[in-house]
Amino acid sequence: MKISLNWLKQYVALEAPVDEIAHALVFLGFEVEGIVRTGAPKLDHVVVGEILTRVRHPNADKLSVCTVDVGPAGGVKTIVCGAPNCDAGRRVPVALPGAVLPGDFEIKQSKIRGQLSDGMMCAPDELGLGTEHAGLLLLDGAPALGTPINEVLPSGDVVFDLEITPNRPDALSHIGIARELAAWFRQDLRFPEIKFNDLVTETARPDILSEVRVESPADCPLYIAILVTGVKVGPSPAWMQERLKAVGLRPINNLVDVGNYAMLELGQPVHVFDAKKIGGRRIVVRRAADREKLVTLDGKERTLSSRMLVIADADKPMVVAGIMGGEKAEVDSTTTDVVLEAAYFRPQSVRWTSKRLGLASDSSYRFERGVDPHSTFEAARRTIDLILETAGGHVVGPLYHVGGDRPWKREITLTSDYVRRRLGFPLSDDEMRNALKLLNLAIVGESRKETGPEWTVDIPSYRSDLDRPIDLVEEVLRLYGSDRVPPAPCIGPALLDGDDDPVVVFNRKVSAYLVGQNYHEVVNYTLRSANELKVWVSRAAAQELALANPFVEDQSHLRPTLLLGMLESLKLNQSRGVEACRLFETGRVFVERDGVAHECAAVAFLNCHNEKDRAWLPRAAADFYTAKRHVEILAGHAGVELGKSALSPVSGAYPDWQEDHSASAGEMTDGWAARFGLVNLAMLRAAGIEGQVWAGIFVILPEKLPADSIRRRYQPISLFPAALRDIALVVDASRHADDVRRTLAQVAQAAAAGAFTVEQIKVFDVYKGQGLPEGKKSLAFSLAFRSAVRTLTDEEVNAAFTKIKQDIAADGSISVRV
């Protein structure tokens, strides 16, 4: 909101420099977003002069030597000038020696290229009037020579652009801000004197206005309408125009300007109707009919609905209540009689309508935040004064005043001890009393309690945001100065509440592992596009993970996997010619299952092998088993042993993975899922990504992450030697190694018969081809047998091994290779 300093000074004596006032505003809670100086600052020794002659400077092409008449006191001066428009006959501002222009630029008599110059003719920027520097400021209207320039130029003003927080609707006006500054600078507030005393001498004019009716008192608890006849439309006075222009409003005519002025002065939006345009001589405050139409002042036709409040005449809406007037009932140059409206509209109603119509105004902004209904009549009286002062006319009775009969009364009980205990530093009772008094928070009662005084504080109607003792603590601190809170050591109870959240701990662990594996952490947006989900994940995901109100089209869905963002990062680096092969990310993903979404913690990595990335010494590329090991370790940090759960090759359910080159586990049955392997090559190419991408993801429901690490129990280790045997098994080429290993483990366990343990069964060779039947492969395992209590003999080991070789072939699907 724009606030003019000159305007403020009408209500409060502000002698402090601008930066001090700005500081006061900030520490009163009104952030200063900008300070603009308008008009000319006070300039001594700068007067109106007329150029008499102009000749070229003998020693410089671009300079002129002029004689300038600066009036009877100064006479005629010779001045060197570089401006292109210093033509004879022009009247311009002349800074005489002794003048100090903005930027501390002092004017002295001087020699310029050998030519004496006795002052300076000024361009607008040199006088502090904006940034224009193309030529001298030309003064219109032939002002008298020698006139001090401030009498000719618009006077200077300072305009603060303030951010008013939503709890302070009372500060959305010059009076409101003046009231706060008066408190800060310990000055009196001079409220404008109100002359209109509700006395109406004229007889009623039912031929102009016969009735004011409020049909929706819930949306409009107070409506005041006052008829003024015999007004004369014309321009508003210069002082009013200057004020309005300073805060960015365009003057229209005296009646429109008065309305704006009153609102900006007092914070109460008012509306001025041309009384003759009120059809049926009736004002009706009512809900609009559905599909009812109104052309608002901005020239747009609005279609209204039955939840919207309008001010109507006998048959048509004239104004969208509290938001914007219609074209039809506006004041124009022929207006002679007007109706002033001052009302209180329910904030929620105005907000709803304003949002629905996409129509906001200074008026709706104030009504939405809440104007003070108990000041509305006062504002109406002030506006009447302004109308009579600027447009003449007579107030005609009766004064219509509908509703608004609930008186204001609010008191808060506060003890000084409470304030001190909340603030935590000593503030005397008197300092508190003083702060409250300065803010017009009158102490209307005081009693003594054990800990100090207890006050009854009367809250003025415009401060309805103050409701509880804690609200007054803020007021006291605001006036005391929140930047004066004294420093203190940071002391708290020594013990922590507990451990960091398991999700946080998990993210730290997996990140540390992947950083240690030379991966770079990336961070991507949570929101992805519908199309991306359909292509990379599933139609169901695209349906269940959609936002109701996305802001942009390509960010309309929750991410079901981190992979999408990481591939985008990979692509960005590739397109910028930056070699990037190892990326990882942690974060929340959203997994859809059977129409229900689940928010999961997730970690994902990718390792890209790009033929184009050359090295003087080539290294083996990552492969499926690189990804597998990573995922096993990541799962381990979540307390999940991947080795203990079934791994299945990915199917068409996961189009982002390359079939036959990727695996999947978990499937959320126990609250987690893992997938890893090769990212679908065709999809990568379609996405414009080069190379092969080996990747892995692990997701888990946050509540499944273990809160405490499990305390392990020590298992004794055998100090006796192991007996090693190798066995090669021939199976169908399609059979999974782990299936064979598990079968072998069972058989071996049985063969050992509890006499010793089968410590390890490890596959060390996989062979297909010559020497084996078509469609078969050979898996070579090494077995380690060991006893905890003795050295095994060859005989017993051989006996067991023979039995293994017999038993393993029992079901016919496995044969021992010899």
Partner 1 sequence: MQATIATILAKAQTEFSALQTRAEFETAKARYVGPNGEFTALLKQMGSVPKDQRPALGKLINEAKVRLQSLLDAALRTIADREIAAQLGPAVDPTLPSPDAGPGTYHPLTLVREEMCRILRRAGFSVADGPEVDTEFYNFDALNTPPEHPARDVQDTFFFPENARFGNVSKRVPEERYLLRSHTSTVQIRTMLKRPPPIRIVSPGRVFRRDTTDATHSANFHQLECLYVDRDVTVRDLKALLDYIFAALLGPDTKTRFRPHYFGYTEPSFEVDLSARHLPKVNKEWIEIGGCGMVDPSVFEAVGYDPEVWTGYAFGMGLERLAMLLYGIDDIRYFYQNDLRFLRQFA
**Residues from 747 through 766 that contact partner 1 (CB under 8 A):** none
136 interacts with partner 1 by CB under 8 A: no
- Largest Cα separation within the chain, whole Å, is 134
Q: How far is the CB of 422 from partner 1 (least distance, A)?
A: 6
Query: Under the criterion CB under 8 A, does residue 492 sit at the interface with partner 1?
Result: yes
Window of 137-145, 578-586, 655-663, 762-770 that interacts with partner 1 by CB under 8 A: 578-586
Task: Give 338 or 477: the residue with its C-beta nearer to partner 1.
Answer: 477
Rounded to a whole number of angstroms, the minimum distance from the CB of residue 178 to partner 1 is 18
Count other Cβ atoms within 10 Å, centred on residue 129. 21
Residue 291 Cβ, how far from partner 1 at the closest point, in Å?
24
Output the CA–CA distances (angstroms, integers) from residue 775 to 135, 728, 729, in the order listed: 94, 16, 14
Q: Running DSSP on this structure, what letter comes out for residue 501?
A: P
Name the percent of the chain in helix, strand, coil, to the closest 5: 30, 30, 40
Distance separating alpha carbons of residues 790 and 788, to the nearest angstrom: 6
Nearest Cα neighbor of 731 from 781, 783, 760, 772 is 772
Q: Which two tokens stand for residue 442?
A: 């009158």
State the nearest-atom distance from the C-beta of 548 to partner 1, in Å: 5
Q: Give the x-and-dash track for 702-731 against partner 1 (CB under 8 A).
A: xx----------------------------
Window 204 to 243, contacts with partner 1 (CB under 8 A): none
- Hey, which residues does 695 pair with through a beta bridge? 606, 677
Among 443, 527, 755, 761, binds partner 1 (CB under 8 A): 527
Q: Does 168 bind partner 1 (CB under 8 A)?
A: yes
* Least distance CB 795 / partner 1 (angstroms): 35
Question: In the set 218, 490, 682, 818, which binds partner 1 (CB under 8 A)?
Answer: 490
* Closest approach of partner 1 to the CB of residue 527, in Å: 6
Sequence-ordered list of residues with C-beta below 8 angstroms from that of 767, at least 6 positions apart, any chain: 728, 777, 778, 780
Task: List binders of partner 1 among 360-379 (CB under 8 A).
Answer: 368
Q: Which two tokens stand for residue 610?
A: 């790009």
Residues 9-38 within binding reach of partner 1 (CB under 8 A): 26-29, 31
Amino acid at residue number 605 = F
3-state secondary structure of 302: strand
Query: Nearer to partner 1 by C-beta: 17 or 492?
Result: 492
Nearest to 171 by CA among 439, 477, 468, 472: 439
With CB under 8 A as the contact rule, the residue among 494, 717, 719, 818 that binds partner 1 is 494
Q: Quote the CA–CA distance of 588 and 473 in Å, as a whole number.
A: 41
CA distances from 174 to 8, 390, 479, 738 (A): 6, 20, 19, 81
Closest CB to partner 1 among residues 498, 812: 498
Restricting to residues 538-577, which ones interact with partner 1 according to CB under 8 A?
544, 546-552, 555, 558, 569, 572-573, 576
Between CA 682 and CA 747 the distance in angstroms is 43
262's enclosing H/E stretch is helix 254-266
Smallest separation (angstroms) from partner 1 to the CB of 391: 36
167 in contact with partner 1 (CB under 8 A): yes
Minimum Å gap between C-beta 305 and partner 1 is: 18
Q: 292 or 474: whose CB is closer to partner 1?
A: 474
Kindly provide the residue ranges of all beta strands, DSSP E only, lying in 426-566, ordered along the sequence: 442-449, 452-458, 520-521, 527-528, 557-558
Question: Quick check: 358 binds partner 1 (CB under 8 A)?
Answer: no
Instruction: By CB under 8 A, tell whether 739 contacts partner 1.
Output: no
**517 near partner 1, rule: CB under 8 A:** yes
3-state secondary structure of 681: helix
Instruction: Kindly indicate which of the ranges 50-58, 196-204, 507-515, 635-643 contains the residues binding partner 1, using the contact rule CB under 8 A.
Output: 507-515
Query: Which residue from 579, 578, 533 is spatially nearest to 558, judged by alpha carbons?
Result: 533
Asked if residue 89 binds partner 1 (CB under 8 A), the reply is: no
Residue owning tokens 């803020």: 474
Which 614-653 positions form the footprint of partner 1 (CB under 8 A)? 615-619
With 0-12 / 13-18 / 19 or more C-beta atoms within 10 angstroms meaning exposed / middle / buried, residue 454 is middle
Residues 652-681 binding partner 1 (CB under 8 A) are none
Query: Among 73, 142, 578, 789, which residue interacts with partner 1 (rule: CB under 8 A)?
Result: 578
What is residue 500's DSSP assignment? P
Judged by CB under 8 A, the chain residues 581 through 600 that form the site for partner 1 are 581-583, 587-588, 590, 593, 595-599
Part in contact with partner 1 (CB under 8 A); list of ranges 44-52, 293-301, 471-479, 530-538: 471-479
Q: Where are the beta strands (DSSP E) in 187-331?
A: 211-214, 222-229, 270-274, 282-287, 293-295, 301-303, 309-312, 317-320, 324-325
Query: Rounded to the nearest whole angstrom, what is the least distance from the CB of residue 189 to partner 1 in the complex?
Result: 20
CA–CA gap between residue 192 and residue 385 (Å, rounded): 10
Q: Which residues between 686 and 705 bind partner 1 (CB under 8 A)?
A: 701-703
Distance CA 780, CA 744 (A): 11
| Cα 235 to Cα 610: distance, rounded to the nearest angstrom | 75
Residue 251 or residue 565: which is nearer to partner 1 going by CB? 565
CB atoms within 10 A of CB 366: 23
* Candidate residues 504, 686, 753, 766; the one interacting with partner 1 per rule CB under 8 A: 504
**Strand, coil or helix: what is 810?**
coil
**Of 703 and 726, which CB lies nearer to partner 1 in the complex structure?**
703
Q: Judged by CB, which is closer to partner 1: 336, or 543?
A: 543
Between CA 814 and CA 803 the distance in angstroms is 14
In whole angstroms, how far apart are CA 748 and each of 171, 255, 646, 719, 794?
Answer: 86, 103, 21, 22, 16
Which ranges of 576-670 would DSSP assign to H, the alpha helix? 624-637
Of the pair 396, 601, the CB lying nearest partner 1 is at 601
Based on the shown chain and the rule CB under 8 A, indicate whether residue 410 belongs to the binding site for partner 1: no
Please pick, from the candidates 250, 437, 508, 768, the single residue that binds partner 1 as defined by CB under 8 A.
508
Can residue 424 be called a binding residue for partner 1 (CB under 8 A)?
A: yes
Q: Which is nearer to partner 1, 571 or 776 (CB)?
A: 571
**CB 582, min distance to partner 1, A:** 6
| Cβ 254 vs Cβ 390: under 8 Å | yes
Could you tell me the smallest distance in angstroms from the CB atom of residue 699 to partner 1? Answer: 12
Q: Total binding residues for partner 1 by CB under 8 A?
A: 100
d(CA 813, CA 779): 13
In angstroms, give the least distance from the CB of 478 to partner 1: 5
Q: Which two tokens stand for residue 651?
A: 């199917």
Binders of partner 1 among residues 242 to 301 (CB under 8 A) are none
Neighbours of 780 (CB within 10 A): 15
Q: Which among 112-120, 245-253, 325-333, 343-351 is the span making contact with partner 1, rule CB under 8 A?
A: 343-351
Instruction: Please name the residue ranges forming H helices in 481-623.
Output: 502-516, 530-536, 539-544, 563-575
Pick out residues in 137-166 that bind partner 1 (CB under 8 A).
165-166
Identify the residue among 440, 511, 529, 813 touching partner 1 (CB under 8 A): 511
Answer for which of 73, 142, 199, 523 binds partner 1 (CB under 8 A) is: 523
Alpha-carbon distance of 709 to 48, in angstroms, equals 86
CA pair distance 545, 558, nearest whole angstrom: 5
Of 97 and 550, CB closest to partner 1:
550
- The answer to whether residue 771 forms part of the interface with partner 1 (CB under 8 A) is no
Helical H runs in 138-252? 174-184, 238-246
Residue 521 binds partner 1, judged by CB under 8 A: yes
Nearer to partner 1, 173 or 524 (CB): 524
Min separation Cβ 9 and partner 1, Å: 24
User: In angstroms, what is the minimal distance from the CB of 523 to partner 1?
Assistant: 5
Q: How far is the CB of 568 from partner 1 (least distance, A)?
A: 8
